[in-house]
A and B are shown apart, each in its own frame.
Chain A
Amino acid sequence: MSDLIKLSAAALGEKIAAGEVSAEEVTRAHLDRIAEVDGRVHAFLHVDDEGAVQAARAVDAQRAAGDKLGPLAGVPIAIKDVIATKGIPSTAASKILEGWRPPYDATVMTRIRDAGMVMLGKTNMDEFAMGSSTEYSAYGPTFNPWDLTRIPGGSGGGSAASLAAYEAPLAIGTDTGGSIRQPGAVTGTVGAKPTYGGTSRYGLIAFSSSLDTPGPCARTVLDAALLHQVIAGHDPRDSTSIPLPVPDVVAAARQGASGDLTGVRVGLVKEFSGEGAEPGVMAVFRDTVEALTKLGAEVVEVSCPHFQYALPAYYLIAPSECSSNLARFDSVRFGLRVGDDGRNSLEEVMSLTREAGFGEEVKRRIILGTFALSSGYYDAYYGQAQKVRTLITRDFTAAFEKVDVLVSPTTPFTAFELGARTADPYQMYLADLYTIPTNLYGGPGISVPAGLSDGLPVGLQVMAPTMADDRMYRIAAAVESTVGTFAPPAL
């Protein structure tokens, strides 16, 4: 095992730029690690050895030619399979897209390539990002490197696990209800959901258009910020992308690392006082808040009365949008086709394909969403959920008049055992209890490792106002500077 895989992305970038190590060496070290452990972790659905080595060599050639390299040039990265990558399978962990190779790159991917980063492969996830454990992947679950009998969170379990298992120093996730932050929390890694519209959705295979947000996954706050800086910024291909400058999240992370939070007002959400959360999680949370106080932050409690309706509102809005977004998977233009034997009608082929191609959770949400949008039910369900969304946004706006950021545990419980929550969808949905309000509001949120409970990681969530992503990086970096980082037992 090469020591290179334990280094941060920032350190790798510096070493490559300084010529202390080649991008190819770094890439090969990670590919070797994947070959060594991924049989047990199953973080990856597809590894692109050849493409990765080629990309690394291109960076080395640039350096040899005297080009100045960016901070992450030559640094490897794992990409969640929901991101379209040109010529590389992009399945969103669904059977219905098995073997589909997009003819184009997502904007996030284009920016990653432009930064000279090296894509290692595509990571496992819950099918179409619907789930909180990666158990709903059509290609089998991912296992948490902290304990291979436990889930790595979801939907972006593969990205988070690849970091915890040292298979990649950076990864891309997407966060619709917590799919970056919750896996970060249960794997002891950092996961940031940028402001909605701060990162482009172009090329992100849509689950819920008004919520989906691509973002960085890393082992350190600074690494996450560096990746955030690469992928963020206005994209004319995404109408919902915000045409404003990207907040300087890297500077904020460096500032936070100094450990001084004097004058920062931190809000505790009264409604997230721990009901339904594991005591061990709440204990770590209280200790972290205590630590923030010691760093000079002023901690106050704020009330967000409508947060209690966030989960039901989310489970109307997200399925409604998904029922429409997933209609295109019909076998006509791409992906799986079932029953095209000359006897079945076109409608039957579409129907058979969707029956065979979608997993249970995806079907559940399509059915739920189809119902919620139906004529006669729209006002009571989708319409009502949108009103709740407005109220939750008001709660955030009011809270941010009193405090700079809000904090909470990222998820009510540590990594649970495989199979523990698949029987009851609601038990699974509770994993995103604390992360969902941020998605409905559209602001940024980050999960940073805060401690361990019974030997398993616990994350602290920092939530900030829209387009104030820098603020959450500062607080997260300060937490990291106090509590340190957490490494899983050797695999």
Chain B
Amino acid sequence: MSTNVLPTYDDVVSRYEPVIGLETHVELGTVTKMFCGCPTDFGAEPNTQVCPVCLGLPGSLPVANRAAIEATIRIGLALNCSIATWCRFARKNYFYPDMPKNYQISQYDEPLCVDGYLDVEVDGELVRIGIERVHLEEDTGKTLHVGGATGRIHGATESLVDYNRAGIPLVEIVTKPVPGLGARAPEIAKAYVAELRDVIRTLGVSDVRMEQGSMRCDVNTSLNLPGAEWGTRTETKNVNSLRSVERSVRTEMLRQAMVLDGGGTITQETRHFHEDTGDTTSGRSKETATDYRYFPEPDLVPLAPEPVWVEQLKAALPELPRQHRARLKTEWNLSDLDMQSILNAGAVELIERTVAAGASPEAARKWWLGELSRRANADGVELEAVGATPEQVAKLQVLVASGKLTDKLARQVLEGVLAGEGDPEQIMAARGLEVVSDTGALTAAIDEAIAANPEVAEKIRGGNQAAAGVLIGAVMKTTKGQADAKTVRELVLARLAS
């Protein structure tokens, strides 16, 4: 490798073609674990949600969780897969302390769901991502290595294992390799994961929270010269946010191009993605990878989902995100462009909830794409984490619609909401921001203004309504801007009409 110069992205995509593939793990939100009756709650004290089965104690046996099988089939159906009429679990054998049995019950050559697709909309264009398989397995425990410099097992003085997660049902969704995306590969990878997340959330089978690890992505990337065979791929592990999915593909494309440009070859390996730097570093090489010695799990009987049952599950699937969005677009009377900007902002659900809480679609959209998007951008957070709930936004809008707040005052109230001062009504009251609509107080202010500006009043009496601006300005000053200018104007004109 003679050069170590990172090429520019435009340069890379002008000379190479990327092929990507994604393996996504989703922890199912079942009440109990995959093969035992232990609860699956997140955040419990370590090793309190365990039993002989999920600890792999000698003599214990697994019993498959029907709810998890049902959830997996529903995911498969939502991804347009064929559902196996007969399949088996398999043992994946490898030694690691967070694996209680030193094998993982998974599926190998007989997955529950195969050969589907997910259509992903990017900039108004549909991209079809092929789904190779959807299978069911058990999660491992979590290991904490203490005392080493790296936090990895090597060099650690102590390794602590929490088996609460061990045995939680995990669905793995594997795409077919996706070639031909060109420069858009990183963006489409992100859009695919986002769409998949929305689909699974809609199905209600997982909370799909990437930050809590209930959805985790491994991203495969390779580069090839146009017309040439696909290149050697690397697998970037544990990419745990939508933004990182996009960045990791991009980073890996740049890195591989640099290696190839320098005359080097790509090693088939797993790589770790670092959220802080956006870099990937080499993990374990696949050439020396473990032979997992898969074989059918003899402790479990084969799965044979009844076709009638599968048909029932299919018929009962909820409206999926893409259909849902199409319906909203019509209901909200939006143009393609408007809908696209809502999608790009990740605001569909937020707006929907705001509308459900009483705001008009138009107003809800204005708040989320306007003030709140600006604020989220400025703070560098996702829109949903901006600090205001759809319910609060709806309340705010109700106050505007009823005339209690002007747009300008409403923005001040929103400031308070984002600062965590409470609900809009409370903030309006606490900050004294309500529109002055008490006619008595306004009349006094108007009389005062007229008395202070007799010559202006005279002009208005003479028919020069444009002169009213001066008096309105004086009233607004007296009321510290809390009067509605339109109301003041009407009152001034009425007062000087006779």
How many Å from the CB of A320 to the closest CB on chain B?
Answer: 6
Cα separation A202 to B59 with both chains bound (whole Å): 6
Option from A329, A346, A375 in Cβ contact (under 8 Å) with B291: A375
Are B95 and A347 in touch, CB under 8 angstroms?
A: yes
Are A373 and B299 in touch, CB under 8 angstroms?
A: no
Are B59 and A206 in touch, CB under 8 angstroms?
A: yes
Mask, B120-162, CB within 8 Å of A = 1, is: 0000000000000000000000000000000001101101010
Option from B56, B93, B293 in Cβ contact (under 8 Å) with A333: B56
> Which residues of the other chain, B, contact A104 by a CB distance below 8 angstroms?
52, 57, 60
A384 interfacial contact with B, CB 8 Å: no
Are B159 and A327 in touch, CB under 8 angstroms?
A: no
Cα separation A346 to B98 with both chains bound (whole Å): 12
Option from A202, A210, A329 in Cβ contact (under 8 Å) with B298: A210
Contact flag A239-B62 (CB < 8 Å), given A328-B102, A346-B153, A374-B291: yes
Residues 209-239 (chain A) with a chain B CB within 8 angstroms: 209-210, 236-239
B301 interfacial contact with A, CB 8 Å: yes
Are B61 and A328 in touch, CB under 8 angstroms?
A: no
> Which residues of the other chain, B, contact A208 by a CB distance below 8 angstroms?
298
Are B159 and A324 in touch, CB under 8 angstroms?
A: no
Contact flag A324-B103 (CB < 8 Å), given A92-B58, A330-B95: yes
Mask, B54-80, CB within 8 Å of A = 1, is: 011111111110000000000000000
> Which residues of the other chain, B, contact A236 by a CB distance below 8 angstroms?
63
Are A382 and B301 in touch, CB under 8 angstroms?
A: no
B111 interfacial contact with A, CB 8 Å: no
Are A240 and B299 in touch, CB under 8 angstroms?
A: yes
Residue of chain B at shortest CB distance from A83: B59
Cα separation A208 to B299 with both chains bound (whole Å): 10
Option from B64, B103, B157, B298 in Cβ contact (under 8 Å) with A327: B103
Cα separation A375 to B56 with both chains bound (whole Å): 25
The interface residues of chain A, by DSSP majority, are classed as loop
Cα separation A97 to B61 with both chains bound (whole Å): 18
> Which residues of the other chain, B, contact A334 by a CB distance below 8 angstroms?
57-58
B213 interfacial contact with A, CB 8 Å: no
> Which residues of the other chain, B, contact A323 by a CB distance below 8 angstroms?
93, 293
Are B61 and A345 in touch, CB under 8 angstroms?
A: no
B489 interfacial contact with A, CB 8 Å: no
Option from B59, B62, B97, B100 in Cβ contact (under 8 Å) with A203: B59
How many Å from the CB of B423 to the closest CB on chain A?
Answer: 50
How many Å from the CB of B98 to the closest CB on chain A?
Answer: 9
A66 interfacial contact with B, CB 8 Å: no
Are B58 and A328 in touch, CB under 8 angstroms?
A: yes
Contact flag A238-B61 (CB < 8 Å), given A346-B153, A382-B295: yes
> Which residues of the other chain, A, contact B154 by a CB distance below 8 angstroms?
345
Option from B52, B62, B293 in Cβ contact (under 8 Å) with A370: B293
Cα separation A142 to B192 with both chains bound (whole Å): 64
How many Å from the CB of A168 to the closest CB on chain B?
Answer: 22
Option from B56, B62, B293, B299 in Cβ contact (under 8 Å) with A328: B56
Are A209 and B52 in touch, CB under 8 angstroms?
A: no
Are A237 and B161 in touch, CB under 8 angstroms?
A: no
> Which residues of the other chain, A, contact B97 by a CB distance below 8 angstroms?
330, 332, 346
Are B56 and A321 in touch, CB under 8 angstroms?
A: no
Cα separation A236 to B65 with both chains bound (whole Å): 12
Are A327 and B102 in touch, CB under 8 angstroms?
A: yes
A204 interfacial contact with B, CB 8 Å: yes
Contact flag A201-B153 (CB < 8 Å), given A209-B299, A239-B301: no
Residues 189-208 (chain A) with a chain B CB within 8 angstroms: 201-206, 208
Are A205 and B52 in touch, CB under 8 angstroms?
A: no
A272 interfacial contact with B, CB 8 Å: no
Are A375 and B293 in touch, CB under 8 angstroms?
A: yes
Are A90 and B295 in touch, CB under 8 angstroms?
A: no
Residue of chain B at shortest CB distance from A209: B298
How many Å from the CB of B103 to the closest CB on chain A?
Answer: 5
Cα separation A329 to B102 with both chains bound (whole Å): 9
> Which residues of the other chain, A, contact B161 by a CB distance below 8 angstroms?
332
How many Å from the CB of B217 to the closest CB on chain A?
Answer: 26
Residues of B within 8 A of A (CB): 52, 55-64, 91, 93, 95, 97, 100-103, 153-154, 156-157, 159, 161, 291-295, 298-301
Given A238-B63, A378-B295, 13 new contacts (CB under 8 A): A97-B58, A203-B60, A239-B61, A239-B64, A321-B295, A324-B293, A328-B58, A330-B97, A347-B95, A370-B293, A374-B293, A378-B293, A382-B295
